[in-house]
Amino acid sequence: MEFSGFSEKTLPFLEAIRKNNNKEWFEAHRDEYEQYILNPSKAFVVEMGEHLMALEPTINFEPKINKSLFKIYRDIRRMGANKEPIKSKIGIIFTQGNSGSRLQNSSFYLHFSPDELFVSAGVRWFEKPMLDAYREYIKEASRREKLSNVLERLNAKGYKTIEKGYKKYPRGFSADMPSVDLSLYKGMATYKILEPKLIENGELLIDTLYKIYEDMLPLQRIVYEISLRVKEK
C-alpha cells in the first residue's frame, strides 16, 4: 500500500474516540479504525522508514503493532495510567538499537491527535540503566560541551528540549562544572509541535518530517551512543 497521507476523516475519528471511549463503541467501529488509522499508519512506517535510512542506515522500522506501531488499547492496569481504554493519540516510532524496551532505544518518534502533531528524537524518559549511562557519559566535560552545543543549535532553529526532571545535582556533579544542568534531565530529547492536519498531505508530511529529523540527527546519534553504554544486568 502506497502512502498518500491519512484521510481527512482520521482526526474526526480520533475525536469520536474521545467522545465514545469504551470497548463496545470501538469494536463496532473497528473497520473505520483500520481504514483511517491502522492501514495508513503501516504504509507511513514503510515510506518514512525508507527515507530515514538515508539519514541513519541502522534505523529499525516494521509496520506492526509492538514494533513501529502501538496498541490502540491502553493498559489501564498500571498505577497512575490514563483510565480511558482507547487511545485517541496515535504514536509511531523508529528506533535505533535493540536493547530492552523500544522506548529506551534512541528513536525518531511522532504522535498525532486532534490537538497536535508531536515530533521528537532521543529518549523522553530514562529508566535507571539509561539514566546511569547518560550520567556516566556527561561526566566528561567535552561530552557535556558537545551535547550542550547540539541543544543550543536545535533551540536556535525553533526546537524545544524536554523539561528537566530533577532540582538537585546527582552525585558526582557540582555547580562549578560547565553545563552541569544537563545532569538534571530524566531523559534527553528534542521536539517540535506541528498542526495535526499536516498528516492528510502525504508528500508534504514525509518531506517536513525528513527535514525535522535531519535537524535532530546530531542529538539522536548522541543518545544512541549513550544507549550503547548501558550495562547489562
Query: Please, is 201 exposed, middle or buried when counting C-beta atoms within 10 Å of its C-beta (0-12, 13-18, 19+)?
Result: middle
Task: Give residue 79's pLDDT.
Answer: 44
> What local confidence, expressed as pLDDT, does residue 97 receive?
78
The 10s digit of each residue's pLDDT in 153-182 is 999 999 999 999 999 999 999 999 999 999
What is the pLDDT, as a whole number, of residue 84? 85
Section 191-211 average pLDDT = 98
Residue 207: the pLDDT is: 98
User: What would the pLDDT profile of 110-144 be if each residue is shown by its tens digit?
Assistant: 999 999 999 999 999 999 999 999 999 999 999 99
Average pLDDT, the chain: 94
Range of weakest confidence among 37-46, 72-81, 93-102, 188-197? 72-81
Domains of the chain: 10-227 (3.30.930.20)
- Give the mean model confidence (pLDDT) for residues 13-35: 97
Return the pLDDT at 74: 85
Over residues 47-103, the pLDDT tens digits come to 999 999 999 999 999 999 999 999 999 876 554 556 789 999 999 999 997 767 888
